[in-house]
Structure 1
Amino acid sequence: MFHSARLKLTAWYLLIIMTISLSFSGVIYVGLTRELERGWRRMEIRKRAEDLGIPLPGFFSLRPEDLPRRLKDFSPRYFLTEDLKETKRRVLRNLLAVNGGIFILAGISGWFLAGKTLKPIEQALEEQKRFVADASHELRTPLAALKTSNEVALKDKKLTLGEAKKLIKSNLEEIESLETLTNNLLTLASLEENGQKLNFQKVDIKNIVDSTYQKILPLGLGKKIKIKIESSGGKIFGDEESLKKMILIFLDNAVKYTPEGGKIWLKTWQEKGKLVLEIKDTGIGISEADLPHIFERFYRADKARAKGGFGLGLALAKRIIELHHGSVKVVSRVGKGTTFTIMLPLKPS
């Protein structure tokens, strides 16, 4: 599909370039040949004037009324020699040769530019296809598990009340996971399509950090993880709700992949017109092979980091950072922990 589109786009580039080139060549040819004819005509008149002993200035008009009386009868005569005709033919051949070269270069350049133009579209389409396929797979797996467990329970004639409650509890957990997945999918899709509609205004980063800390604290206490907050405060131009979600994603990941009794630090400070957020943990870390891919949709690292998530959180967090014209860096050592450093501009870009 894209090969055909590339050929068509190249043809359009070629048509546009050659139309412009041939138009300019036509103008150049007409203008140049007219000047040649005038020059040749002037030479004829000057030669005739010399033969008749009539003095002429260095430059003179070719209009009959401006010429001396004895040259007026000569002025209407229009004479083109073979030399002039040959000169015009050579000019035409040279222009055609130049246009031939432009045609070849335009074809090569057009093919290259068409590829460059279509590449982002092709990548976006492939990413969309992969996104749909991955989303379908992620939805199908828990749904299949729900269906199977319910079918088995339905056929079990000896199912007790306790077992039924256990099954319902398990089903509710699966439904909560599916709800989280669909919410993240909708949020990510909304940010991709309508990111510009975020409510950007001056917000206090300390309030955002404190609010997020209160949400993540119960999870940390459940694993006896110490979460330390060091926020210098300050105002930042951004969308409050999406910033809270972004910080919560990083903290949730830190809690999820930090063993019991571990530590998590969240620090904020200002540096060179930017707000810096650093989330550091003493968790299991991320391997070098996985680091380049952790922000990809539905990407999940090795089994040691498989905690029932869907691989959308970090992709969503990165998109929020991008919409705030920020950047994120990650440093990690397996068995030692991970540090995420987010930099956001304090003022609108």
Structure 2
Amino acid sequence: MSRARVRARVRAGLGAPRTLTPTARILRLRRRISLLFALTSAVGLVAMAVFAVRADGGRWREQLDHTMDADTSWALGLLETDEDGRLVTDVLAESVDTACPPLTVLLVDAEAPGRLTVEHAPGKPCLTVDPALVEEAGRAAVRADAVRAFDGRTTEGEPVRMFAQPFYAPEAPDDAGPQGVLVTASDATAQRDDHRRLVGLTTAGCAVLVLLSAAVGHLLSGRAVRPALAALDRQEAFLADAAHDLRTPAASLRTLAETALRGETDSAEVHRRTLRLAEGMGRLVDGLLTRARLVSGTAAVARQPLRLDQLVEAVAEEAVEDAAGGHRVRVEAEDTVVVADPDLVRRAVGNLLGNALLHGHAPDVPADVLVTVERDGTVTVADAGPGLPPEVAGSLFERFRSGSGSRSGSTGLGLSIAAWVAHAHGGTLTAGRSERGGARFVLRLPTEA
């Protein structure tokens, strides 16, 4: 939309055109696909229904025409002529019940070829047809010099099928016109009722099938757009995880820079800590990219034999150095080898430790965290803090769930990431109450491939 049109809409009070989110655009595409599927199905079903209805209408008409053609052909064999060439219908009247179905014999007026005269008509026909309709059928057959059939109605309004068959005088030249025409009628009430039932059933069936196709189209379009919606969810999750993981080292760099500007810290120490933070941020970025590839299915978990005890000790040392406030982390580890991705496990253990140092203590009281590593691939992180609030116990590992309230500023992604790492390795992450009264997280990793 041009800027002039946008300004015109704003002046008119309509506001600027609403920008759809990617999810809204995908959902709109799903609705359009469903509608297109339903319309395509409807067009096909309606076309088939019309074909079936027309075919049925032609079928029952052909059956009646075939029956009346046989009757008129039999009647033609009973027509005779006298010595003067005049038509005699006595044998026909005596041999055939011309009243049911009604059979009328019309002769062409030699002096006025367009005029027909009644030579024989049934006295009490079973179908009362207007003589004008009978004459119309006869004239149509004479003009066409061929058999003609069409739909009509009795004087009571009931449907009938009219049939007219011309006949010729004996020994008449080939170019001579018809001498007369036989006109009969057949009751079409039963056929019409059957046809109407077919139309009703076909219409109802089409409506049901169109609704069913719309529902199926909606389900299929939902499956079609599901990967796109999942990709959007993964993208949002990646951005949220990146913001969560990079927030702490970025804040530490800023604090370190402000301290260096005030001259409160030795420059060598500042450089050393800056280098360590930069290296940690690089690992975080690599881990985020790795997780994004894993979730999207473009990469696999890089499982390899890993000394879990050494990794946990290194993570604990880094956590104590980066944390402020005199927090204490004790590690009791046995020699343990697991089969896992080192970067992902490092992130999971780091998130559990970070959660314990952030939430596992009372305000203005240093945290005291105990980390144990057992030979079966179990890492336990226990603190002496206030424990897990009951309202978050059932949804602790959901994204954006934080159990500390607003005082921590946490978005609650750390535990969800740790849980994802555990599940990606075929392990588990559980939470409970520690013997010291605080929270206790147990990460279990497989020790064999």
Partner of 1:135: 242
Partner of 1:187: 290
Aligned pairs, number: 295
Kept in 1, the 8 Å contact 2:34–2:217? The answer is: yes
For residue 15 of structure 1, report the CA deviation from its aligned partner: 2.0
Q: What is the one-letter code of the residue matched to 1:172?
A: L
Correspondence for 1:172 among 275, 285, 290: 275
Correspondence for 1:8 among 32, 48, 54: 32
For residue 293 of structure 1, report the CA deviation from its aligned partner: 4.8
CA spacing shift, 1:316–1:185, aligned 2, 3 Å:
farther
Q: What is the one-letter code of the residue matched to 2:235?
A: Q
Superposed CA deviations along residues 52-95 of structure 1, whole A, max 9, x for unmatched, are 999xxxxxxxxxxxxxxxxxxxxx95645443567546644553
1:36 aligns with 2:60: yes
Superposed CA deviations along residues 303-338 of structure 1, whole A, max 9, x for unmatched, are 79979999457526625734x6x4645242361512
**TM-score with structure 2 setting the length:** 0.48
The 5 Å alignment of 1:195-234 reads: 195-197=298-300, 208=305, 211-218=307-314, 223-228=329-334
Q: What is the one-letter code of the residue matched to 1:302?
A: S
Q: What is the one-letter code of the residue matched to 1:99?
A: C
Q: What is the one-letter code of the residue matched to 1:212?
A: L
Correspondence for 2:382 among 274, 278, 282: 282
Correspondence for 1:22 among 46, 52, 56: 46
Kept in 2, the 8 Å contact 1:245–1:317? The answer is: no
Q: What is the one-letter code of the residue matched to 1:215?
A: L
Q: Which runs of 5+ in 1 are unaligned?
A: 55-75, 234-239, 269-276
1:333 aligns with 2:433: yes
Return the alpha-carbon distance in structure 1 between the equivalents of residues 234 and 314 of structure 2: 36
1:262 aligns with 2:370: yes
For residue 225 of structure 1, report the CA deviation from its aligned partner: 2.4
Q: Which runs of 5+ in 2 are unaligned?
A: 1-19, 78-94, 97-145, 152-159, 161-187, 321-328, 358-366
Q: What is the one-letter code of the residue matched to 2:268?
A: K
Partner of 1:302: 404
Q: What is the one-letter code of the residue matched to 2:330?
A: K
Q: Which structure carries more relative contact order (alpha carbon 8 Å, separation 6+)?
A: 1
Kept in 2, the 8 Å contact 1:6–1:111? The answer is: yes
For residue 184 of structure 1, report the CA deviation from its aligned partner: 1.7
For residue 8 of structure 1, report the CA deviation from its aligned partner: 1.5
Q: What is the one-letter code of the residue matched to 2:432?
A: S
Percentage of pairs with the same residue: 16
Kept in 2, the 8 Å contact 1:279–1:339? The answer is: yes
The 5 Å alignment of 1:137-156 reads: 139=246, 142-143=249-250, 146=253, 150=257, 153-154=260-261, 156=262
Kept in 2, the 8 Å contact 1:220–1:227? The answer is: no
Specify which structure has the higher proportion of helix: 1
Kept in 1, the 8 Å contact 2:380–2:442? The answer is: yes
Kept in 1, the 8 Å contact 2:309–2:334? The answer is: no
Partner of 2:363: none
CA spacing shift, 1:246–1:317, aligned 2, 3 Å:
farther
Return the alpha-carbon distance in structure 2 between the equivalents of residues 141 and 117 of structure 1: 39
Return the alpha-carbon distance in structure 1 between the equivalents of residues 344 and 259 of structure 2: 40
Kept in 1, the 8 Å contact 2:388–2:439? The answer is: no
Q: Which has the larger radius of gyration?
A: 2
- RMSD of aligned alpha carbons: 5.0
Return the alpha-carbon distance in structure 2 between the equivalents of residues 6 and 220 of structure 1: 49
